[in-house]
Structure 1
Amino acid sequence: MKKTILATALATFVPVAAQAHFLLQHTDEVLIDKPGDVPMGLIFWHPMENGHAMDMEAPQEFFMIHNGAKTDLMDRVAPATFIGKHNEAAAFTASVPVKRSGDYVVVTVPTPYYEQSEDIYIQQITKSVLNRNTLPTDWDQPAGLPTEILPLNKPYNVVVGSTFSGVVLSEGKPVPGVEIEIEYMAAEPDLEAFAATDSTVGAMPGGTIVALTDANGVFTFGIPKAGNWGFAALGSGPVTEHDGKELSQDAVLWINATELK
């Protein structure tokens, strides 16, 4: 998780010993037609490999930003058991109240997770964006998080075959040389059953997809397939210790890509 400064952000396929951890904020749709409560699953998992699911503690924060206004949604979070392909794990269900047109930037600030195999804590501060009636309002504005990925393309309007770019921020400032793990949600969870589904693609032969931010904190990745893509900026946050151990404070962003028809 060391930071290496490079002049350009190139996506590469790098083998790693461990599977990529990703905190999911999963909804069945990101483009919302009708007003109402949108169900969401908060799951700490390996969605590309359909792998091991990790137990989550209650989030420190769960909120949304709409038209610049922040709304606390912790009263909409409830504990649940996620049924993975290989194990069951503590997770959470939630809902997002989508009423007026515009963007709904949803944020989870999780309690740090202790990764015993690495003897470190991991805190993946996660964003995703829902939209109603295709009116853009908030997607390109920072959420004021300790660390976050600010999208440079509308995250719910990405076309397969195009590229997606983002800038990694720490305390509001771009961070060069950050390692970005990139994950395809090959096994989308069934929110009604709160269980894993079958994988739609196989494991990457070269291991985890990795990009590095350039001198301006920017990375770019070509989108090869429709669906949900996650980007995790490893150790990009300002906090580096928790309970006397190393903390990797990561910024996670989920986007949705569609085929041009």
Structure 2
Amino acid sequence: MKRLLMASALAVMAPALANAHFLLQYTENTMIERPGEVPVKLAFWHPMDNGPVMDLALPEAFYVIHRGERTDLLDTLQPVTFTSPVNSGAAFNGTVPVRRSGDYILVTVPQPYFDETEEIYIQQITKAFLNRNQIPTDWDQALGLPAEILPMTKPYNVIAGSSFTGRVLADGQPVPHAEIEVEYMAALPQMDRAEVSEPVVGPMPGGAIVIKSDANGYFSFAVPRAGHWGFAALGVGPQTEHDGVELSQDAVIWVRAWDMQ
């Protein structure tokens, strides 16, 4: 009976949440002061609605770029359960070695996920950023990913009330008129346990926030409050099919906004 009720709740929520999937690469801090192993949680979730969790399979790739050098982090991942108020799903905890000063760009290339409500596969190639000692090194460099958002604004210390600008790329080329969903992490994952914190805002009226890139792939968004903001350019990657089924190969970027003190 409990499973039946849960399935019914997900079915009711599906139309509103179908376009709000976001792959998280969450760290409690983006500005790192001391060298060490920084914990990171990978989860596939609806963070603005604090809604359903989707099971995340072991990624195809998980690595960090620092001063142009790539370090594979796949062997740091340990399976865990991630729980929202709606359900629980498979996720991973990992670590990122932060030693020298500069930027650390986290990249996850997940396995395609089959969304039964939309009857398509989704693959969200995701970037997030850490920095040590406030010395910028890599944040403005394209990585040559199949689907990628290149930040035009330094992504780990955006000022709340200002704007974030990015450029949508596919295999290094600009993507004109891309549809981009914007998501706020209303509740925060807890690194030492399965659940999330209490949400600080509720879902937006009208559903997902959507903006478009211009003819040269650029977009801007006025960031209204501090916290973690995600941007997902939908279906911009060159791969459009997986196992004979439609694939949406998305580019996701997470940025951190701060209030001025």
User: Normalising by the residue count of structure 2, what TM-score does the alignment of the two structures yield?
Assistant: 0.93
Matching of residues 38-117 of structure 1 within 5 Å: 38-117=38-117
Partner of 2:4: none
Cα deviation for residue 250 of structure 1 reads: 0.1
5+ long unaligned stretches in structure 2: 1-14
Matches within 5 A, 1:1-261: 18-261=18-261
Runs of 5+ consecutive residues of structure 1 not aligned to the other structure = 1-14
Higher relative contact order (CA 8 A, sep 6+): 1
**Residue 3 of structure 2 aligns with which residue?**
none
Kindly indicate whether the alpha-carbon contact (under 8 Å) linking 1:128 and 1:254 is maintained by their aligned counterparts in 2.
Answer: yes
Q: Aligned Cα RMSD in Å?
A: 1.1
- Whole-Å Cα distance in 2 between the matches of residues 119 and 199 of structure 1? 30
Q: Return the letter of the residue paired with 1:40.
A: V
Which contiguous aligned blocks of 4+ residues in structure 1 show a shift greater than 4 angstroms?
A: none
Change (3 A) 1:184 1:90: same
1:142-183 Cα offsets, whole Å, 9 max, x none, are: 112111000000001100111100000000000001000000
Secondary structure class of the residue paired with 2:75: helix
Distance 2:40 2:195 in 1: 13
Q: Percent same amino acid among aligned pairs?
A: 58
Tell me the distance in 2 between the aligned counterparts of 1:260 and 1:88. 36
Would you say the 8 A contact 2:18–2:117 is kept in 1?
no
Q: Secondary structure at the match of 1:239?
A: coil
Which AA in structure 2 matches 1:77?
A: L
Residue 19 of structure 1 deviates from its aligned partner by 4.7
Name the one with the larger helix percent: 2
How far apart, CA to CA, are the structure 2 residues paired with 1:178 and 1:163? 19
Give the Å deviation of 1:112: 0.3
| Aligned 8 A contact 1:43 1:92 in 2 | yes
Q: Quote the offset at 1:84 in angstroms.
A: 1.6
The 2-side partners of 1:87 and 1:251 are apart by 26
Question: 1:194: how far off?
Answer: 2.9
Q: Distance in 1 between matches of 2:172 and 2:260?
A: 34
Distance 2:58 2:68 in 1: 26
In the alignment, the residues of structure 2 paired with residue 105 and residue 31 of structure 1 have an alpha-carbon distance, to the nearest angstrom, of 12
Q: What one-letter code is carried by the residue in structure 1 that aligns with 2:101?
A: S
3-state secondary structure, aligned to 1:199: coil
Instruction: After TM superposition, give the deviation of residue 260 of structure 1 in Å.
Output: 1.1
For 2:142 and 2:186, locate their aligned partners in 1 and report how far apart those are by CA, in whole Å.
Answer: 28
Cα distance, 1:17 vs. partner? 6.3
Aligned counterparts of 1:224 and 1:69: Cα–Cα separation in 2: 34
SS at match of 2:54: coil
Letter in 1 for 2:65: I
SS in 2 for 1:203: coil
Amino acid of the structure 2 residue aligned with 1:212? K
Number of the residue aligned with 1:11: none
SS at match of 2:148: strand
Q: Distance in 2 between matches of 1:190 and 1:16?
A: 25
* C-alpha contact (below 8 Å) 2:17/2:46 kept by paired residues: no
Query: 1:120-155, CA deviations, whole angstroms, 9 ceiling, x for partnerless residues?
Result: 000000000100000000000011211100000000
Distance 1:111 1:17 in 2: 21
Amino acid at match of 1:36: G
- Superposed CA deviations along residues 42-78 of structure 1, whole A, max 9, x for unmatched, are 0000011110000011000000000000111111111
- The code of the aligned residue for 1:123 comes to Q
The amino acid across from 1:103 in the alignment is: D
